[in-house]
């Protein structure tokens, strides 16, 4: 797969007359080489790709990379080597830091491209299996946590225990910092767990990372009549958005399905984020189910659906599943939406 990805990227580079493509984002380097840097690395995609890495990472790189490795000594030496190969026009990633850009700009003609990110939109069979395994671990751990019988514990305690369970069941770590938000704090989409006891309403957003690949789910435990009313609106938006997914539509079309339902119930201003995001080696990848993303949906994309309604200083409700797009959208996993 690495060779095929590189061939696809070289073809796109050739169309724009690039001599090389500089990667510094660790997950992009891992995607095309199997080597996941731990300290510092640059990959240059060209006819004979090469990775420059730090001395402390050389052994790791040699043992895992499908691309030739050399030790990075300095920018001047790296630049001289590339210039000796008549490389002058280089594509760079949008995430490249300004300090690195300045060390390259005098020697090369630079322009921003997203060739690797675009290649990563479509998942291979192996990638989907890893995402599915990550979801299986995360969902099994969530069920085992049994929040309803642990309400004497705090947000922070339960967040820690959920991470511990995911590791016990085979995860490398969490996909991201687990969100445990109880009571009024649930109206904050990215609330940070604190040492406060759980109230009746609790929103949990969590995921596991398995062999580099992420999962992502959100569930909200409710109790009152008003909470149930909002929950049913969010669930309707969630279910109908998933039902609407099919190849050929635009990502923004799916966002509109969820957003229109929530707007029709009078909560337009309380849905304050996109309907979903792709995931894989990173928890947030492209494309997104958002108002501004007109990417055409294709088979084997993996994108979350996570509508939410947030009532400031009251509570928030979010329901999230990860969707593998085939002829239609298929939820990865079998986690119940209603927790009682």
pLDDT in tens, 55-67: 999 999 999 999 9
* pLDDT score of 240: 98
In terms of domains, do 85 and 201 share one?
no
Cβ atoms 332, 313 nearer than 8 A:
no
Confidence of residue 338 (pLDDT cuts 50, 70, 90): confident
In terms of domains, do 84 and 151 share one?
no
Whether 340 has a pLDDT exceeding 90, the answer reads no
In terms of domains, do 111 and 141 share one?
no
Report the chain's mean pLDDT, rounded to a whole number.
96
**Residue 340 lies inside a defined structural domain of this protein:** no
The CATH number for 94's domain is 3.40.350.10
Confidence of residue 16 (pLDDT cuts 50, 70, 90): very high
As for how many domains the chain has, the answer is 2
3-state secondary structure 20-81: EEEECCHHHHHHHHCCCCCCCEEEEECCCCEEEECHHHHHHHHHHCCCEEEECCCHHHHHHH
* pLDDT score of 151: 84
Q: What is the Cα–Cα distance from 185 to 182, expressed in whole angstroms?
A: 6
**Residue 94 lies inside a defined structural domain of this protein:** yes
**Residue 339 lies inside a defined structural domain of this protein:** no
Confidence of residue 117 (pLDDT cuts 50, 70, 90): very high
Residue range 85-103: average pLDDT? 96
In terms of domains, do 134 and 101 share one?
no
**Residue 337 lies inside a defined structural domain of this protein:** no
Cβ atoms 39, 26 nearer than 8 A:
no
Token pair in block for residue 279: 């995931």
Range of the domain at 232: 125-331
**Residue 319 lies inside a defined structural domain of this protein:** yes
In terms of domains, do 77 and 213 share one?
no
Confidence of residue 179 (pLDDT cuts 50, 70, 90): very high
Token pair in block for residue 216: 């992502």
In terms of domains, do 103 and 205 share one?
no
Of 67, 85, 118, the domain-final residue = 118
DSSP code at position 141: H
The phi, psi pair for 247, rounded to 5°, reads: -55, 145
Q: What is the Cα–Cα distance from 16 to 13, expressed in whole angstroms?
A: 5
**Residue 104 lies inside a defined structural domain of this protein:** yes
In terms of domains, do 214 and 325 share one?
yes
Of 118, 152, 181, the domain-final residue = 118
Residue range 303-313: average pLDDT? 97
Q: What is the Cα–Cα distance from 104 to 88, expressed in whole angstroms?
A: 10
Of 98, 118, 138, the domain-final residue = 118
Cβ atoms 145, 155 nearer than 8 A:
no
In terms of domains, do 89 and 35 share one?
yes
* β-bridge mates for residue 173, sequence order: 209
**Residue 306 lies inside a defined structural domain of this protein:** yes
In terms of domains, do 96 and 149 share one?
no
* pLDDT score of 125: 96
Neighbours of 91 (CB within 10 A): 22
In terms of domains, do 21 and 138 share one?
no
**Residue 288 lies inside a defined structural domain of this protein:** yes
Q: What is the Cα–Cα distance from 278 to 284, expressed in whole angstroms?
A: 6
In terms of domains, do 39 and 186 share one?
no
The CATH number for 282's domain is 3.90.230.10
Q: How far is CA 37 from CA 31, 53, 74, 184, 215, in A?
A: 11, 8, 17, 40, 21
In terms of domains, do 218 and 310 share one?
yes
Residue range 82-103: average pLDDT? 96
């Amino acid at each position: 797969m690495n060779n095929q990805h590189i061939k696809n990227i070289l073809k796109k580079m050739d169309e724009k007359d690039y001599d090389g493509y500089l990667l510094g984002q660790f997950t992009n380097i891992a995607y095309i080489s199997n080597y996941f840097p731990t300290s510092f690395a640059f990959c240059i995609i060209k006819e004979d790709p090469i990775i420059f890495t730090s001395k402390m990472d050389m052994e790791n790189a040699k043992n895992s990379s499908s691309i030739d490795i050399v030790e990075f000594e300095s920018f001047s030496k790296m630049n001289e080597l590339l210039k000796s190969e008549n490389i002058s026009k280089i594509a760079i990633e949008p995430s490249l830091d300004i300090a690195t850009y300045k060390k390259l700009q005098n020697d090369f003609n630079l322009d921003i491209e997203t060739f690797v990110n675009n290649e990563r939109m479509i998942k291979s069979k192996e990638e989907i299996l890893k995402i599915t395994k990550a979801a299986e671990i995360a969902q099994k751990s969530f069920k085992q946590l049994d929040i309803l019988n642990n309400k004497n514990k705090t947000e922070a305690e339960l967040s820690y225990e959920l991470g511990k369970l995911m590791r016990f069941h085979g995860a490398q770590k969490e996909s991201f910092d687990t969100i445990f938000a109880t009571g009024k704090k649930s109206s904050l989409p990215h609330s940070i767990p604190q040492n406060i006891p759980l109230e009746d309403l609790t929103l949990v957003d969590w995921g596991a990372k398995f062999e580099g690949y992420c999962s992502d789910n959100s569930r909200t435990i409710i109790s009152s009549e008003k909470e149930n009313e909002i929950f049913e609106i969010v669930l309707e938006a969630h279910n109908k958005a998933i039902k609407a997914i099919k190849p050929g539509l635009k990502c923004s079309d799916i966002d509109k399905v969820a957003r229109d339902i929530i707007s029709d119930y009078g909560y337009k201003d309380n849905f304050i984020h996109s309907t979903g995001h792709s995931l894989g080696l990173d928890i947030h990848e492209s494309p997104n189910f958002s108002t501004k993303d007109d990417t055409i949906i294709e088979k084997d994309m993996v994108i979350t659906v996570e509508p939410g309604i947030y009532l400031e200083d009251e509570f928030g409700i979010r329901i999230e599943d990860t969707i593998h797009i085939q002829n239609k959208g298929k939820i990865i996993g079998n986690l119940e939406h209603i927790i009682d």
